[in-house]
Amino acid sequence: MVEGSSSIDREEGQRRIVIEANVEGRDIGSFVEEGQRLISEKIKLPAGYYVSWGGQFENQQRAMKRLSVIVPLSIALIFFLIFSTFNSARYAALILLNLPFALIGGVVGLWISGQYLSVPAPVGFIALFGVAVLNGIVLVSYINKLREEGLGLDDAITTGCERRLRPILMTALVAILGLVPMLFAAGPGSEVQKPLATVVIGGLTTSTLLTLVVLPTLYRWFEEEKVEF
């Protein structure tokens, strides 16, 4: 007598063997990449055999593929809405420069907390982009209003930053404080809540600070270039 499998599983008419594993302390993507490399180097599969990676990794790859389309479309839609508001590609490009400011904080937040770029993180970046762009619109539109009222470029920038400091800080603080419970969440669902909250809180911190410091400088440079042109 020869020992055999207690059961034979099939999928799409083919036999299959399922090997399950839980990943801790690292991201699923690098784990699967290392596993694929080790299998190709150390294991020679018989003819007709192959290895496929499923479960959370398969879901992650599917979600990332969708997000690779959704994120650029979101940025393009934001640009269109800003352009329709100001009727100027220059101002739209200026406000979109807030997005790198937000990315810096989101990425640094993930790095400091030891988290990885999982599916919830890009979703958090999309929400973060919306708030960062809103703060840029609030500041730039008010500076433009002051200039239309007759203030000089430097005076309009200084006054606009002073008078829009409170609304910008309030917008950022409301979002940050609302996500603090998710940042310290534990138990079921925390693997989704923490990356999203980390990205938004970290991104809003740097975006708010840089919006009030770097964006006025870039606004002045944009306007000086326009005058020279």
Find where tokens 């430097």 sit: 154
Handedness of CA 153, 159, 161, 163 (dihedral sign): negative
pLDDT at site 57: 74
pLDDT at site 132: 85
pLDDT at site 160: 87
Give the number of other CB atoms < 10 A from CB of residue 17: 9
Quote the crossing angle between the two packed helices 120-148 and 165-183, to the nearest 10°: 170
* Whole-number Å distance between alpha carbons of 103 and 205: 11
pLDDT at site 1: 65
What global pTM score does this model have?
A: 0.71
Pull the structure tokens for residue 141: 């539109």
pLDDT at site 38: 82
pLDDT at site 229: 42
Structural domain boundaries of the chain? 65-228
Non-local (6+) Cβ contacts of 1 within 8 A are: none
pLDDT at site 67: 75
Q: What's the distance, CA 123 to chain centroid? A: 6
pLDDT per residue rounded down to tens, the chain (229 residues): 667 666 666 666 677 777 777 777 666 767 778 887 888 888 887 887 777 777 777 777 777 788 788 878 888 888 888 888 888 888 888 888 878 888 888 888 888 887 777 777 888 888 888 888 888 888 888 888 888 888 888 888 888 888 888 888 888 888 888 888 887 777 666 777 788 888 888 888 888 888 888 888 888 887 766 654 4
State which CATH number among 1.10.150.20, 1.10.3720.10, 1.20.1640.10, 2.60.40.10 fits the domain covering 65-228: 1.20.1640.10
